[in-house]
């Protein structure tokens, strides 16, 4: 009987094992995860879970009973120590498991502050895992002072939670503006105004010099020469793909674990999906750090582990919740040369164009605009920028051209 092993019990790993069973695979499946809990959703950790609006059981992607019912061996709290692609084995300490097909869904790890500038002090946190969220939750006390380093989505979401809970929030972003790597000036302006309106001390073009304290952080020195007294610090300066096991196995690494259009790595019996995996798109190897990519790419990997020969066509979508604003993103705005702003009653969206073609949208509390733009982008169609900008234009009319 064939044995398929999946290393990494996150969204992508979960998607692979459920797809394998859903496609009728009757062989053995082993899903291995380092964390001591079943696969769970990560996005709510910095939003609803941290706010206390989502309980632990609702985080789980499937009830723990599902794995036994689906005859999936779930190995949680297990660390893979080696992969031998020649022998087709996986080592967990002294235990050796043989596989026929292997999938690496090892995800990513948050970038840390160097210990030399205080990154190892107590009270300095990242927000990536359930353990991170549980460790940081007691710090969210009304009146406490928090420094957030990094103005990406994780940092902004943490700032929103802290401000809602009555903390004194300072956010520093070393780049000229928040969201500089992922969004337009217009979207940065929108979220800057949102956070300022909720009392966040938002400082752009300012970085961290060092954190001070004996065993626990007490203050922070910034590049503008100022010093802040802080009770704790949240670091949100990006993530790196977890490629250590792939490197040990001798797989090709290029912006993560390199895969082809079939989610297959440089070894024909090893597949990869999710944050750790890059795939060919528009002439280069790209990674998409999103739930949607983790699910869709993993489904393709599972089908190709079964020999179906399915190619992966990404349909990027993302979201973020900050205060009472739900941001929904479709497409990739990289390389845009025009941004059209559409405003309605309580809605706001930014439509990105490149050479006259609609390529992406940032929709703030505008679910209808998001859905219309998403359908247009995925079908390769576009929308007249002048009509988009006119709030009187019926969105359905855009679908009809």
Could you write out the DSSP letters of every residue in 308-340? Answer: --PPP----EEEEEETTEEEEEEE--TT--EEE
CATH number, domain 112-235 = 3.50.50.60
CATH 3.40.630.30 fits 324-399, yes or no: no
Tell me the pTM. Answer: 0.94
> Tokens 């992969």 — which residue?
83
* Fold match, 3-109+240-305 / 112-235: yes
pLDDT at res. 312 = 96
pLDDT of residue 147: 98
pLDDT along the chain (401 residues), means of 10: 97 98 98 97 91 92 95 98 98 98 97 97 96 95 97 95 97 97 95 98 98 98 97 96 97 98 98 98 91 96 98 93 96 94 94 97 97 95 94 85 61
Query: Alpha carbon of 385 to those of 189, 208, 337, 354, 381: distances in Å?
Result: 21, 40, 12, 11, 13
Domain positions in the chain are: 3-109+240-305, 112-235, 324-399
Buried b vs exposed e over 250-283: b needs ≥16 C-beta within 10 Å? ebebeebbbbeebbbbbbeebbbbbbbbbbebee
DSSP 362: E
Architecture of domain 3-109+240-305: 3-Layer(bba) Sandwich (3.50)
């Amino acid at each position: 009987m064939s044995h398929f092993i999946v290393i990494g019990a996150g969204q992508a790993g979960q998607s692979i094992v459920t797809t394998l069973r859903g496609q009728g695979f009757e062989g053995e499946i082993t899903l291995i995860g380092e964390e001591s809990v079943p696969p769970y959703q990560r996005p709510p950790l910095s939003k609803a879970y941290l706010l206390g609006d989502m309980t632990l059981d609702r985080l789980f992607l499937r009830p723990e009973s599902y794995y036994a019912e689906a005859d999936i061996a779930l190995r949680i709290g297990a660390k893979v120590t080696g992969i031998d692609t020649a022998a087709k084995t996986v080592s967990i300490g002294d235990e050796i498991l043989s596989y026929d097909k292997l999938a690496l869904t090892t995800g990513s790890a948050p970038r840390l502050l160097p210990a030399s500038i205080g990154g190892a002090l107590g009270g300095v946190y990242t927000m990536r895992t359930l353990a991170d969220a549980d460790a940081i939750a007691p710090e969210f006390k009304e009146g406490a002072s928090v420094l957030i380093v990094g103005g990406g989505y994780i940092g902004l979401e943490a700032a929103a939670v802290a401000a809602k809970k009555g903390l004194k929030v300072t956010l520093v972003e070393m780049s000229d503006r928040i969201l500089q790597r992922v969004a337009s000036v217009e979207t940065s302006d929108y979220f800057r105004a949102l956070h300022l309106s909720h009392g966040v001390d938002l400082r752009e073009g300012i970085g961290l010099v060092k954190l001070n304290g004996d065993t626990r952080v007490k203050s922070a020195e910034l590049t503008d020469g100022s010093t802040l007294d802080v009770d704790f610090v949240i670091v949100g300066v990006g993530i790196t793909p977890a490629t250590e096991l792939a490197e040990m196995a001798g797989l090709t690494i290029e912006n993560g674990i390199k895969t082809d259009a079939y989610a297959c790595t440089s070894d024909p019996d090893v597949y990869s999906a999710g944050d750790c995996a890059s795939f060919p798109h528009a002439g280069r190897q790209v990674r998409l750090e999103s739930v949607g990519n983790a699910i869709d790419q993993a489904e393709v990997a599972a089908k190709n582990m079964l020999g179906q020969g399915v190619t992966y066509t990404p349909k990027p979508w993302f979201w973020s919740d900050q205060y009472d604003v739900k941001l929904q993103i479709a497409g990739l705005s990289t390389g845009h040369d025009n941004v059209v702003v559409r405003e309605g009653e309580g809605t706001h969206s930014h439509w990105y164009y490149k050479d006259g073609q609609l390529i992406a949208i940032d929709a703030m509390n505008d679910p209808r605009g998001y859905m219309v733009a998403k359908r247009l982008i995925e079908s390769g169609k576009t929308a007249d920028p002048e009509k988009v900008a006119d709030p009187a234009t019926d969105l359905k009319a855009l679908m009809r051209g």
